Chain A
Amino acid sequence: MPKRTDIDSVLIIGAGPIVIGQACEFDYSGAQACKALKEEGYRVILVNSNPATIMTDPEMADAIYIEPVHWTVVQQIIEKERPDALLPTMGGQTALNCALDLAREGVLEKYNVEMIAASREAIDMAEDRELFREAMTEIGLEVAKAVIAHTLEEALQKQPEIGFPTIIRPSFTLGGSGGGIAYNREELELIVGHGLEMSPTNEVLLEESLLGWKEFEMEVVRDRNDNCIIVCAIENVDPMGVHTGDSITVAPAQTLTDKEYQRLRNASIEVLRKIGVETGGSNVQFAINPEDGRVLVIEMNPRVSRSSALASKATGFPIAKIAAKLAIGYTLDELMNDITGGATPASFEPSIDYVVTKIPRFTFEKFRGANDRLTTQMKSVGEIMAIGRTFQESLQKAMRGLETGITGFDEITTTIENEADRDRLRDELRMPGADRLRYVADAMRLGYSIDDVARLTRIDPWFLAQIEDLMATEQQIQDAGFSGLNATLLRSAKRKGFSDARMANILGVAETAVRKRRLEHHLRPVYKRVDTCAAEFSTTTAYLYSTYEEECEAEPSDRPKIMILGGGPNRIGQGIEFDYCCVHAAMALRESGYETIMVNCNPETVSTDYDTSDRLYFESLTFEDVMELIHKEKPKGVIVQFGGQTPLKLARDLEAAGAPIIGTTPNSIDLAEDRRRFQKLVDSLGLKQPPNRTASNKAEALALSPEVGFPLVVRPSYVLGGRAMEVVHNQDDLASYMDAAIDVSNNSPVLLDRFLDLAIEVDVDCVCDGEHVLIGGIMEHIEQAGVHSGDSGCSLPPFSLSDEIQRELIAQSIKLAKALNVVGLMNVQFAIQNNVVYLLEVNPRASRTIPFVSKAIGIPLAKIAARVMVGESLAQQGYVNQRIPGYFSVKEAVFPFVKFPGVDPILGPEMKSTGEVMGIGRSFGEAYAKAQLASGVILPRQGNALLSVRDRDKDGAVELARLLVACGFDIVATHGTAQHLAAAGISCRRANKVREGRPHIVDMIKNGEIDLIVNTTEDKQAIVESQSIRSEAVRRGVTYYTTVAAGVATCKAIEHLDNVEVNRLQDLHKEVAA
């Protein structure tokens, strides 16, 4: 059946901002869907609020709307664009929910829009626990036993159906809090009692415990002719009980016999048929009891998912692209498998001849107070995938690419001296955390048997045996010593995935020594192709991975080529924005006639799509892996400034080893980062920095602090994403920071900077070709200085800066770009206090805001910068003048606090946001209103606004209160603030702070009496005291701000809530270019 001709236009809904559980995999799937449908000649309309996505690039769809993914807004888009069909399965849960809202609100019916790929009924059946259970039972599949209870008596009466141990989950509590596992009646009574109390609906779910069962996922694709294929089976190394997103997973499944595998295959296909997924990709999750093989269906997603992105990368089968084509009527046999150059059809099941390992990446260090044990609630913020010919090789490649400072199975617990040590290790094994596999290795080094570890971790013995063997090899290496590291041992270790660095660690020598020895023995990796067919058919697609085998299939060309180093696993502070830049570099240089080579290891991204570049090497970004590639490919240039910190950290070593790094030199990058060198440069240019000093111990810090002046920002000398950065207001706070900071900075010096309070912070992004500078944009932060720039909202163009100040910012940026000999991108951060411009920092590389600015001004800065780096000047490219749009673009950050109960959701110098959204409007207020809606904040229109601000903000609070009153809010204020407001003639209700006695403000929040909170605090004490306000606000979903500025912006936004206009991005760009 060929494609449908009864529809001409399709609306695709994107996933919105990056949040935990929904990351850039949906940019990958959405971008593929857009390309696939455009290729077929359909008019594609796209809505997504996330500017850092490739899918929102103007050439990706005919009409792009960077607008909130909210049904009210999408309705406006539908009204304007009148699409024939809606494809809801490419944008994760966000898109599915939005599509369901549109259906429920009658919008689809009203405008006669057909939902394709999955029907409303199918989505409901898959999502609703009861409907799903019934459906599964009807087709003879088992699901975990579960009952719902509303009283303790009911729970006790029903529990015998479940048996012990029983899992208790209170309904609708944040992060699943209040639940637990009961092994006996006493515990059951206790936990159920507590759970009922915690649940706002007084409801608990009692569920059969599947802890320790094995978990598998099947990626299925179905077409409208009922042809079904399994693209990939994924086995979780972690047993049930750890969220799949947080699990270390392996493809293909390792511990299933054919009979068991086929049973899962049949069951998954039956599930798709029953749920009624008409076309497209879905995933079905199963639990298997390792004792007797009993199989339970856990859940299914009737859409492409994180695991389908992983499965696509793991097999080379582009699930989203195929799913999009199936949605518009093709059948699998009519589509070709691109990777074999069309030699085979898409209607087959990929066979792979390697092992893929995915390891999630966590950032618990950013969220003090968070529970760092892995549970059924997802907590990871990114992931790495590695390909090897064996599990050992892929596992160790993944570990070294995680960028958590490890090179393999680095030791944590090296000795057990007492019972407490033993207990600690046992707990780490029983209750897994981020480093569970390293503890497994530790246990084995300390003599635990596979059985011991299996009993504690419930990890399948097959995986444990592999790790045990690796530990035996480590021992062999240690026993041999560096002198005994001969060709045989080295080859055997390399084949098991040991990095040079890990061997060097074991042997206590430098990595270069191991590298030298390895090269003396001519031991280098070969590169094998990912071809979906285990070499049965030949392929010209260059999707490659390294391994230590005999035959190399890389076949490098002799064309001029540029290698782009990607950003590795996502983490807070380094996410999709950098992948966007890398993808743009690849696209631009391909257009300029270069062969482009992408190196990256993040399976969620567009950069690791095999057709983004001419060649894709799915490799970890370590010195060793990159140098081997440079040796193999001999590129003309290597780009390190687009992938964030990951490649930058390698830049100097790569350059020293002879890598041809293009663009701004590593020396210039270093100049910008080295405090002393930079200060000299700033002085010579006559620019101003806030007073600052460097201290290498506590005494020195305390002694120097008066020279800097309080409040001051203190941080370790090299930090990522504001890690361990703090604003301190007095000597006591500084002293306690210094006591705590020692382990963070490893005794390296700390930097003290004067904190410019109530200053306005500004980012400037620009491109320099060595001679001329193109200013991309000036972004005025909404939150005042002190909030990490990644966490702060910002507006382009600025909404309050004078022309004179803006000219000054531009002049200073140009000076810096030239002085640093920037060739490529540069980002400068300024603070403006009392009309004085201070320079905070310069980053001669891609910044997080590049995609936002590019979307706002309609100029692809990263592409331009990439061309500049290969010698095309700005003038040659035709980009000389700054473009200032006549509309406002506001960027707003999105935070994961809901997932981390117990963490103070306050903003500060340490970055905590996972993603961002963009709102575009004719006024700042409209743009800000959209950004808020897009980030999931439902702004209240009236009610009680609670103000509780620090002394320094009291004047600002008066202005804010006036605005709020004008919007129609009643003001509630704590005593200090209330007094100040009263003095200014603003009447308000008074409320107690928590320590002032009850009823206090937290009581009021709990009682639903507060609709909006603006709460600013300063010193440590006040922050601790006010945490309960913020935490309660997060728990109750009450809109809250921790800066007065954000409150003021909100007032401007509230006016616009009811009259936002949706804008086609391409029209806006046309307007700004005119």
Chain B
Amino acid sequence: MVTPAVLALQDGTIFDGTSVGADGKTIGEVVFNTAMTGYQEILTDPSYCRQIVTLTYPHIGNTGTNSEDMESSRTHASGLIIRDSSMVNSSWRSERSFSEFLRQGGTVAIADIDTRKLTRIIREKGAQSGCIMTGDANPDTAVAHARKFPGIAGMDLAKIVTTNAPYQWCYGTFFGRRPRILSRRIAPYHVVAYDFGIKRNILRLLSDLDCRMTVVPAKTAADEVLAMAPDGIFLSNGPGDPEPCVYAIAAIREFLSTGIPVFGICLGHQLLGLAAGASTIKMKFGHHGANHPVQDLATGKVMITSQNHGFAVDESTLPDNVRATHRSLFDGSLQGIEFADRPAFSFQGHPEASPGPHDLKALFDRFILNMDARKLTTRRAVI
């Protein structure tokens, strides 16, 4: 039996569709993502906390879901908006159908609506607060709910999605290679990763590069981390506005003073920028897709990247000792920074992909090189 569902936006726009996920109601910031693959990775990316994701590609769920493509332990997006939910799941890797995945994950989802119209509204008006209600919902109620959502600006969401306690990670990437579990004894690099909403593929890729990973909660104090004697510190991606994360910014400032290599991605990049003294801005509707060209300013090379952010570091506010390394070719916005005087750098997009192209994988190697260089100098210092 088909259950109806309604999507309401803060501007009063109503979309009638059908429910393809869990029953109930959800509110959040409605954003769109133009990636044509990777719906499971997107839904389980903690960066989508408090966001209702519109996938612009019409057919979603075709390949079902599997345990390998989880980017965290559960779905984080507040809701899902699509044109068509697949009737069958066709993939040799599939373990569960997409609709089961949505229902069991408690994800409210609406299908059969004009997602292109919705995307155009968001493009013109900027990200909208929205509400999905399933069953015979009153559209006016849904609009009222949508308007109650305060918006993401000013919201510290990292503290909500972060891990409660530190944990170790030792699993490498699994696809296209033999699954590898890293032996902690032989892993030469110890990396402490701040979990602001970390995607698992970051951990997997660093594991592949022989990093022992210790994942710590967002509010872990700098001295606790330093006590773990890390070779490098990683600042993860995550949801929400970076500005309220003052605790993290303070910790990062301490790390910068130690000379320990720091690498940040997405929210981690914004936090590094803030720690350096730059400021961040809320974008109109952000970057959400897997086809964004980013130029490496040193080589001129263009890389196609995965992007998912609603805030950005304002390049004009960068201090003298921090320089821009990458820029978006879509809108010229800042995509990467590095410190001139210490081994710290960060990237706004998602070099870990998942979903998306792998063009920027080399950034992880760079982090490793920075750690190698530091090891050499400290060893020399000891000798």
List residues of chain A with CB under 8 Å of any chain B CB: 225-227, 229-230, 252-263, 265-266, 290-293, 331-333, 344-345, 347-355, 389-391, 450, 460-462, 465-466, 469, 528, 533-538, 549-551, 553
- CB B48 to nearest CB in A, in angstroms, measures 15
Q: B residues within 8 A CB of A353?
A: 34, 56-58, 115-116, 119
Q: A residues within 8 A CB of B353?
A: 258, 262
Pair A462/B92 contact, Cβ less than 8 Å: no
Pair B295/A333 contact, Cβ less than 8 Å: yes
Pair A549/B295 contact, Cβ less than 8 Å: no
The answer to whether A255 and B90 touch (CB under 8 A), given A351-B289, A353-B115, A390-B84, is: yes
Pairs across A and B, CB under 8 Å, 24 listed: A227-B303, A252-B36, A257-B66, A258-B41, A258-B69, A262-B356, A293-B93, A331-B300, A333-B329, A351-B36, A352-B36, A460-B90, A462-B88, A528-B116, A533-B291, A534-B32, A535-B119, A535-B120, A536-B34, A536-B123, A538-B123, A550-B113, A550-B114, A550-B117
- CB B93 to nearest CB in A, in angstroms, measures 6
Q: For chain B residues 46-88, which have a beta carbon within 8 Å of chain A?
A: 56-59, 62-63, 66, 68-69, 83-84, 86-88
Pair A347/B69 contact, Cβ less than 8 Å: no
Interface centre among A256, A258, A291 (most CB of B within 10 A): A258
B35 at the interface (CB under 8 A from A): yes
- CB A618 to nearest CB in B, in angstroms, measures 16
In Å, the complex CA distance between A352 and B40 comes to: 19
The answer to whether A351 and B56 touch (CB under 8 A), given A528-B116, A534-B119, is: yes
Q: A residues within 8 A CB of B62?
A: 254-255, 462
Q: B residues within 8 A CB of A260?
A: 91, 93
Other-chain contact of B330, A344, A354, A469, A553 (Cβ < 8 Å): A344
Other-chain contact of A391, B32, B59, B88 (Cβ < 8 Å): B59
Pair A389/B330 contact, Cβ less than 8 Å: no
B172 at the interface (CB under 8 A from A): no
- CB A338 to nearest CB in B, in angstroms, measures 16
Q: For chain B residues 309-347, which have a beta carbon within 8 Å of chain A?
A: 329-330
Q: Mark B291-310, 1 if CB is under 8 A from A, else 0.
A: 11101000011111000000
In Å, the complex CA distance between A545 and B63 comes to: 27
Pair B119/A227 contact, Cβ less than 8 Å: no
Closest 4 CB pairs of A and B: A258-B38, A258-B355, A551-B117, A349-B291
Given contacts A258-B69, A259-B69, 18 further A-B contacts (CB under 8 A): A257-B38, A259-B93, A265-B358, A290-B92, A293-B93, A333-B293, A345-B302, A347-B304, A348-B293, A349-B357, A353-B57, A389-B116, A390-B58, A390-B84, A469-B87, A534-B34, A534-B57, A536-B32
- CB A864 to nearest CB in B, in angstroms, measures 41
Pair B37/A256 contact, Cβ less than 8 Å: yes
Pair B34/A332 contact, Cβ less than 8 Å: no
Q: Closest residue of chain A to B299, judged by CB?
A: A225
- CB B357 to nearest CB in A, in angstroms, measures 6
B354 at the interface (CB under 8 A from A): yes
Interface centre among A291, A534, A553 (most CB of B within 10 A): A534
Q: B residues within 8 A CB of A256?
A: 37, 63, 91
Pair B304/A348 contact, Cβ less than 8 Å: yes
- CB A550 to nearest CB in B, in angstroms, measures 4
Pair B356/A258 contact, Cβ less than 8 Å: yes
- CB B179 to nearest CB in A, in angstroms, measures 13
Main DSSP-derived SS at the A contact region: loop
Other-chain contact of B83, A261, A291, A390 (Cβ < 8 Å): A390
Other-chain contact of B69, A257, A461, A538 (Cβ < 8 Å): A257
Pair B59/A333 contact, Cβ less than 8 Å: no
Other-chain contact of A351, B35, B84, B92, B120 (Cβ < 8 Å): B35
- CB A267 to nearest CB in B, in angstroms, measures 10
The answer to whether A291 and B92 touch (CB under 8 A), given A333-B293, A348-B292, A349-B291, is: yes
Pair A259/B289 contact, Cβ less than 8 Å: no
Pair A551/B86 contact, Cβ less than 8 Å: no
In Å, the complex CA distance between A533 and B293 comes to: 12
Pair A348/B56 contact, Cβ less than 8 Å: no
Q: B residues within 8 A CB of A254?
A: 59, 62
In Å, the complex CA distance between A551 and B119 comes to: 11
Q: B residues within 8 A CB of A537?
A: 123, 330
Q: Closest residue of chain B to A349, judged by CB?
A: B291
Q: B residues within 8 A CB of A253?
A: 37
Pair B114/A551 contact, Cβ less than 8 Å: yes
Other-chain contact of B176, A259, A450, A465 (Cβ < 8 Å): A259
Q: A residues within 8 A CB of B300?
A: 225, 331, 333
Other-chain contact of A462, B58, B86, B289, B355 (Cβ < 8 Å): B86
Q: Closest residue of chain B to A551, judged by CB?
A: B117
Q: B residues within 8 A CB of A466?
A: 87
Pair A549/B93 contact, Cβ less than 8 Å: no
Pair B83/A349 contact, Cβ less than 8 Å: no
Q: Closest residue of chain B to A492, judged by CB?
A: B112
In Å, the complex CA distance between A58 and B245 comes to: 66
Other-chain contact of A348, B84, B86, B90, B291 (Cβ < 8 Å): B291
Other-chain contact of A227, B66, B69, B302, B330 (Cβ < 8 Å): B302
- CB A745 to nearest CB in B, in angstroms, measures 43
In Å, the complex CA distance between A226 and B362 comes to: 15
Pair A465/B87 contact, Cβ less than 8 Å: yes
Pair B37/A258 contact, Cβ less than 8 Å: yes
In Å, the complex CA distance between A818 and B36 comes to: 58
Pair A535/B116 contact, Cβ less than 8 Å: yes
In Å, the complex CA distance between A663 and B8 comes to: 51
Q: Closest residue of chain A to B173, judged by CB?
A: A259
Q: Closest residue of chain A to B39, judged by CB?
A: A258
In Å, the complex CA distance between A252 and B93 comes to: 20
In Å, the complex CA distance between A331 and B303 comes to: 13
Q: Mark B2-38, 1 if CB is under 8 A from A, else 0.
A: 0000000000000100000000000000001011111
In Å, the complex CA distance between A549 and B116 comes to: 9
- CB B309 to nearest CB in A, in angstroms, measures 14
Other-chain contact of A536, B68, B113, B289 (Cβ < 8 Å): B289
- CB A69 to nearest CB in B, in angstroms, measures 35
Q: For chain B residues 328-383, which have a beta carbon within 8 Å of chain A?
A: 329-330, 353-358
- CB A736 to nearest CB in B, in angstroms, measures 51
Q: A residues within 8 A CB of B290?
A: 349, 351
In Å, the complex CA distance between A263 and B174 comes to: 13
In Å, the complex CA distance between A345 and B329 comes to: 7
Q: Closest residue of chain B to A256, judged by CB?
A: B37
Q: Closest residue of chain B to A265, judged by CB?
A: B357
Other-chain contact of A355, B59, B93, B119 (Cβ < 8 Å): B59
Pair B57/A390 contact, Cβ less than 8 Å: no
In Å, the complex CA distance between A265 and B35 comes to: 14
Pair B56/A534 contact, Cβ less than 8 Å: yes
Q: B residues within 8 A CB of A534?
A: 32, 34, 56-57, 116, 119, 289
In Å, the complex CA distance between A255 and B175 comes to: 17
Q: A residues within 8 A CB of B40?
A: 257
Interface centre among B40, B56, B87, B291 (most CB of A within 10 A): B291
- CB A879 to nearest CB in B, in angstroms, measures 47
Q: A residues within 8 A CB of B93?
A: 257, 259-260, 293
Q: B residues within 8 A CB of A227?
A: 301-303
Interface centre among B69, B90, B120 (most CB of A within 10 A): B90
Q: A residues within 8 A CB of B358?
A: 262, 265-266
Q: Closest residue of chain B to A552, judged by CB?
A: B117
Q: Closest residue of chain B to A389, judged by CB?
A: B58
In Å, the complex CA distance between A262 and B117 comes to: 29
Q: A residues within 8 A CB of B66?
A: 257
In Å, the complex CA distance between A462 and B59 comes to: 11
The answer to whether A461 and B83 touch (CB under 8 A), given A226-B301, A345-B329, A535-B56, is: no
Q: B residues within 8 A CB of A261?
A: 37
In Å, the complex CA distance between A462 and B87 comes to: 8
Q: B residues within 8 A CB of A461?
A: 88, 90
Q: A residues within 8 A CB of B329?
A: 333, 344-345, 347-348
In Å, the complex CA distance between A349 and B293 comes to: 8
Q: A residues within 8 A CB of B356?
A: 258, 262
Other-chain contact of B293, A345, A352, A391, A550 (Cβ < 8 Å): A345
